[in-house]
Amino acid sequence: MAVNKLARSWAFTAVGMVALFVALTFSFLTNGFAVAPWNEWAAWERGSEAMVMKRIEVDLVNRDSSVLGLAAYAGDDFSVYDRLSSEGLLTLESTAPNEFIAYESEVGGQAYFWSVIWRDFGCSSISCLRAVGSALTAASVIAMFFVLSQVGSKGLGWAWLISTGFSPWIAFAARNLFWSPWLYFLPAIAALGVVVARSSRWRWIALGGVFLAFVVKYLGTGYHEFTAFTMLAAAMPIIAIIFRSRFMGNRSYQLANSILILASSALAFALVLSFHAVLLTGSIITGLQRIWSNTIVRRTHGGLGESDPIYSDSLNSSPLDVVWKYVWKDWSTDLLSFSIDKNGSVISISLGSAAFILLIFASCVIVILRLAVGDQLWRRDATLLAMGFLIPVVWFISAKGYSYLHTFILFFLWYFLFVPVLLFVVGSFAWGYRYVLGIKAPIPVSSATKSLEGSANNIVSNEANG
């Protein structure tokens, strides 16, 4: 009987995960749940995606080109989409440009990946490639849900799923062939193996998987936002400690795992950067010098004498001003959005951009309130909030010049961990104090206040894991 019940439970879970995968893929590919604003979604970063498409067309006509994968960014030149349409492919040999000018800021491995999928796996249309990209992003989102549910709690896992599934910014990027956001989550997904490893042998095998995931990410979509996805991966052992996960084991062991994950990223970064330098100039030294002057200086804190004057505002901006742009000033979408139908005529739910700063305020109040009543979960919430906040902010500040100009892209970093944590902290508090708040057993305000101040620890004694 117990075996049958367990089998039914597993079957139900499997069906649920498949349905979730299909729903996310549908949402990412078509914006069918109107998660992202329609006026921006279809055209979001088409110029960047065109850099990938130009690699595909040069491979199709088999012309000599740079070994770097991406073509140079050409702004609003979308002509490649016409050339790779079903009609345009008939005359591609004569219409494809003779010259392939490479984008030098990264290896551009994702362009080769999509080119192989097009040429060798029968996925020979832009819509098909986007379907594959959407499915891979959906799979990575579900994998992260599983990881966070294991190393943290089910509540944190669901908060992640809601945040990424209903995020306009993730929906923008999900199907984009240049951004390929599923690659950003590979190291964090691989980090689960490090957290659960219990022998030295399996630990080093798992770390090898993490290193490989970082190499694939750096080769695939470059170095931008590297601090964010590195910190996200390194956060997995810390989250296991915070939630006292059954996988935690010795605390110092997991802290060491976090450091080893950071080291794996640094080693992978150095390896891919050296490879990139050799591809660029044939020499590591001269290649690194070129990457430094052409890419790093203008995207971080370089002086105006070293960069094009067009970047003067970004280079003169203060780090605090850049962070404020992403906290409040430059939000252009809702925080979360969802509709049963794309027109929103049946059911439409959204949290406006103001919800972000309100959730930050509410979460800080919850931490202070927990501390005031002696609820030890204040440490959990405060640590999660600090870690989630730092993941995007470290990149906003370290790549100040890039972040200042790329507000049309980088809001997606908040969804790596911070937005899920905000939802978790508020939701966990509401659930833990549900009797005090009168959700199941309404009580007078005076009694609620007394209970909150005098009996908080008893109420939440079994809520340590959210």
100 phi, psi to nearest 5 deg = -110, 105
Q: What is the pLDDT of residue 442?
A: 37
Query: How many CA atoms, within 13 angstroms, populate the side-chain half-sphere of residue 232?
Result: 29
Q: State the CB neighbour count (10 A cutoff) for residue 351.
A: 17
What pLDDT is stored for residue 343 in this prediction? Answer: 74
In contact, 169 and 44? CB cutoff 8 Å: no
Rounded CA separation 267/273 (Å): 10
Structure tokens at 375: 């609820």
The whole-number pLDDT of residue 449 equals 34
- E-strand ranges in 113-247 read none
**Tokens of residue 289, six digits:** 């010098």
> Encoding tokens for residue 330?
């430059």
Instruction: Count, in order, helices (H) and strands (E) of the chain.
Output: 23, 2
pLDDT tens per residue across span 341-364: 777 777 889 999 999 999 999 999
Spatial CB neighbours of 122, under 8 Å, sequence gap ≥ 6: none
Instruction: State both tokens at 462.
Output: 């079994």
* Cα–Cα nearest to 233, from 205, 266, 201, 204: 266
Quick one: tokens of 443?
């009580």
Angle at 15 between CA 13 and CA 19, to 5 degrees: 115
Count, residues in the chain: 466
CA–CA distance, 141 with 23 (Å, rounded to integer): 12
- The Cα–Cα gap between 402 and 229 comes to 17
At 247 the pLDDT is 77
Quote the Cα angle for 98-106-65, to 5°: 20
To the question of pTM greater than 0.85 for the whole model, the response is yes
Q: What angle do CA 56, 61, 65 make, to 5 degrees?
A: 70
Tell me, rounded to whole angstroms, the distance of Cα 393 from its chain centroid. 14
Closest among 142, 174, 177 to 21, alpha carbons compared: 142
d(CA 177, CA 109): 11
Contact 33, 339 (CB under 8 A): yes
Domain boundaries, the chain: 46-124
The reported pLDDT for the residue numbered 300 is: 74
pLDDT at res. 456: 39
Which residues does residue 102 pair with via DSSP β-bridges, in sequence order?
A: 71
- 460 Cβ neighbours under 8 A, 6+ residues apart: 375, 377, 432, 433
Terminal-to-terminal C-alpha distance of the chain: 31
Q: Is 100 left (phi over 0), alpha (psi -120 to 50) or beta?
A: beta
**In the chain, which residues have pLDDT < 50?**
304-306, 441-466
CA-only gyration radius of the chain, Å: 24
For residue 83, give the nearest of 111, 55, 64, 44 by alpha carbon.
55
Cα–Cα distance between 301 and 317 in angstroms, integer?
9
SS3 at position 220: helix
Distance of CA 138 to the CA centre of its chain: 12
Summarised one tens digit per residue, pLDDT across range 404-456 is 989 999 999 999 999 999 999 999 999 887 766 555 543 333 333 333 334 33
pLDDT of residue 437: 56
Number of neighbours of residue 405 by Cβ within 10 angstroms: 18
Question: Please, which residues bridge with residue 337 across strands?
Answer: 350
